[in-house]
Structure 1
Amino acid sequence: MELQRYDVVIVGGGAAGLSGALALARARRSVLVIDAGEPRNAPASHVHNYLGRESTPPGELLAIGRNEAAGYGAEIVAGRVASAERLPGAEDVGFRV
């Protein structure tokens, strides 16, 4: 498997994760979102108290968020993160996820 480098890796593609991905991708950071596709609000029929999206079905809100983030270059993949570890060496080397 080839090593991929990103400025930011976001674990979880819910509303908060996608909002962060959108802001960072708009700031021209390379962003990877890893999402298992199991949102906590999946049983809910509508989203409430979310500015501009009152009564939107949760799945629709996430689809909109994914499209917006991807439109700015964020990569979104299905999966789970088993571990994250700091790589040895210089401070700017980063983490392995």
Structure 2
Amino acid sequence: MSMETSRLEVREAERNGIDADVYDETGIVEESTRLASDDFDLEPPAARDGEPTAATEVTADVTALDPQLERDGAGFVVRLVGDRDERARVRIDDEEWDLA
């Protein structure tokens, strides 16, 4: 394997949830996961200007990447795990994304 750069992008889903996608260097989705807001009794506002997003890049020599969404108190943590080690982390606060 060689070092490759991947981008973890987290965004509010159109269907009331949070999506986390891992893109390769060419912009193709390698892995994806979704979390439904209903599972946590959260609801985004009915209207807002654009969907909130967060992103980070990681360069690593790994055989597989796995985005993992977890609830943690007043927000969510998206961990990008590669070969069993955390490679990147994005935190989403309920207040920041206006989730109630």
TM bin (shorter chain): under 0.3
Which structure dedicates a bigger proportion of its chain to strand? 2
> Which structure has the greater CA radius of gyration?
1
TM-score, length-normalised on structure 1?
Answer: 0.25
TM-score, length-normalised on structure 2?
Answer: 0.25
Which structure dedicates a bigger proportion of its chain to helix? 1
